[in-house]
Structure 1
Amino acid sequence: MMGGMHTEEPESAGRPHLDRTLLADLLLVPHGPLAALSIVEESESTNTELAAAVAADPAAWPAPALLVAEHQVAGRGRSGRTWQTPDRAALTCSLLMRPQVPRESLSWLPLLAGLATVTALRSTLGLDAQVKWPNDVLVPAGEPAGAQSDDEVDGQALEGWGSLRKVAGILTELLPDGGVIVGVGLNVSQTREELPVPSATSLALAGAATTDRSVILTALAEACISVLGRWTAAGGDAWAAGLVGEIEAASATIGSTVRVELTGGAILVGTATGFAPDGGLLVTDDAGQVTTVRSGDVYHLRLN
């Protein structure tokens, strides 16, 4: 399924439209992993739009299905945060899955999606991507060789982030019919001036091997289907699937000293030492007490 009318517009410099024909060939069955693919020119939020579309006509969205927006104008993150990116400067997509796993296993979804995103960025773009618990993907701060910047924090330690910067965010949602949506927002070609905060970066600024969004989307979709497929095959047991070790290896948080702003305002400081059975973050304080963190904002005080 290739949704939405496509009206040709002048290409922004270095920001072409997604190659719909190529993506259909690579990603749709029988050659690819997706049962349905829809690319729209604009969306307020691909997660919201996909959830509404599935509720309105479930038969039109056989899983796995992917909705991609050329331009997302009201993206949603954790705690109701919103953002907007320049047209065709980012990849914003939402993947519909219907995993046959116990409901309690679904808490692993953000970390699994993070692992898949890291896998795609490492293998395809040559970036040392890492996951910041629970749903941020980070890369080393930097710019392509020869670039000039007067940004004093570029490449330097930034409080709560070290020398890493956020390049992608993940938002997972459960649907009433048992399906799940995995949303990924990935900064691709933004300039430093187009980024909202100093802790953010883009693939272009990080020196990625390519900023071709069609190439990146293909790698991301394939990695997500592969990781989630292994998890589903193991009945939703991330440990039995061998995925927890891979998540730990991809984590910028495990082994780091962290400050956690817990829901309700309490502050926890300690070392992130591992994951709980449900994917919660284990933080050990100076007294040796271990706390399982399941929600809250995590800041890295000292990296591993």
Structure 2
Amino acid sequence: MRAPLRPSELDGPGFHRVTVVEESESTNSELVAAVRAEPDAWPAPSALVAEHQTAGRGRVGRSWATPPRASLTVSVLLRPAVPPERLGWLPLIAGTAVVRAVARTLSRHGGDPVQLAVKWPNDVLVRATTPVAGLGGYRKVAGILAEVVPEGTAGTDAAVVLGIGLNVSQTQDELPVETASSLALAGHPDLDRTALLTALLGEVADAVERWEQADGDPVASGLADECAAVSATLGTRVRAQLAGGAGAVEGEALRLDATGALVIRTDAGHERTVSAGDVHHLR
């Protein structure tokens, strides 16, 4: 039997509110609705956590569910004091926070490290022994979805709900697709989800604070280097399926631009900037 989270120990640094519920269709949808209905009840940063999510939402309307207490399913309300054009960095910053939180938790509990990496723009991957199409020698262990909350108050920082779903203890039979994995399958079956969530909230809060102090500049804050250091995408050959059926761009993933978009050099030597789309790793 999987252990429940211990809400009394979720003391994320700087968080005003961390609410744990037993079940939610989608923590992102519920938190967006709650913030629109009662914004003062959810000061930033706050978090909504579900032990069991039945209809989670990913990019492009994809849905997914997890077994009860097998994952971390958390949505964080932020109001990043950064220029709006820099918000594209948020999923990359969150992915890097996941990598750092797992490493920190394993280090504190004497566990061997696990090799995680971030796939542009919003997936966290774990090393695998056999390759799969689109991911190479990795499997997906976490997904991230950032949503701007529509609000009517002018002159305030945009509210963003940042959803993170991290597979912790799923067995192979409990995963929906062969391209997914869990931390347990990566060799860490006994991770304490409460400690892991506390570490994750701390890493998110720290990264966003540094980002804000640098006025959203990813280079000055050091976040650009941190994201690049854990990227599974940069330096590899990729094919980006552009949003809205606008075709594809294939070539080498060179760098991230000032907005967090991916710069790809095609075989013809041209640089193309991709701000949205699905990226497939070709080698």
The two structures have a TM-score, normalised by structure 1, of 0.86
Aligned to 1:175: 149
Aligned to 1:119: 100
Alignment equivalent of 1:107, drawn from 73, 88, 95: 88
Large movers: runs of 4+ above 3 Å? none
State yes or no: 1:165 paired with 2:146. no
Partner letter of residue 63 of structure 2?
T
Asked if structure 1 preserves the Cα contact closer than 8 Å seen for 2:86 and 2:258, the reply is no
Trace 1:248-263 onto structure 2 (pairs within 5 A).
Answer: 248-263=228-243
Partner letter of residue 273 of structure 1?
L
Aligned to 2:155: none
Alignment equivalent of 1:89, drawn from 55, 70, 85: 70
Say if 1:209 and 1:124 are closer, same or farther in 2 by CA, change over 3 A. farther
State yes or no: 1:131 paired with 2:118. yes
State yes or no: 1:54 paired with 2:35. yes
Q: Which whole-Å CA distance do the structure 2 matches of 1:75 and 1:97 have between them?
A: 19
Q: Which whole-Å CA distance do the structure 2 matches of 1:33 and 1:45 have between them?
A: 24
Aligned to 1:196, the other structure's residue is in SS state coil
The two structures have a TM-score, normalised by structure 2, of 0.92
The Cα RMSD (Å) is 1.2
Q: Which whole-Å CA distance do the structure 2 matches of 1:107 and 1:163 have between them?
A: 26
Alignment equivalent of 2:5, drawn from 15, 18, 22: 18
Q: How far is 1:33 from its partner?
A: 2.0
Alignment equivalent of 2:58, drawn from 77, 83, 98: 77
Aligned to 1:277, the other structure's residue is in SS state coil
Q: How far is 1:210 from its partner?
A: 4.0
Aligned to 1:50, the other structure's residue is in SS state helix
State yes or no: 1:196 paired with 2:169. no
Highest relative contact order (Cα 8 Å, sep 6+), 1 or 2? 2
Aligned to 2:131, the other structure's residue is in SS state coil
Aligned to 1:223: 203
Aligned to 2:191, the other structure's residue is in SS state coil
Aligned to 1:53, the other structure's residue is in SS state helix
More strand by share: 2
Q: Which whole-Å CA distance do the structure 1 matches of 2:42 and 2:185 have between them?
A: 36
Per-residue CA distance 1:210-239 (angstroms, 9 max, x = gap): 421101101110000011110011111112
State yes or no: 1:277 paired with 2:258. yes
Structure with greater Cα Rg: 1
Point out where structure 1 has 5 or more consecutive residues left out of the alignment: 1-12, 142-154
Q: Which whole-Å CA distance do the structure 1 matches of 2:253 and 2:103 have between them?
A: 23
Q: Which whole-Å CA distance do the structure 2 matches of 1:213 and 1:41 have between them?
A: 15
Q: Which whole-Å CA distance do the structure 2 matches of 1:233 and 1:64 have between them?
A: 16
Aligned to 1:235: 215
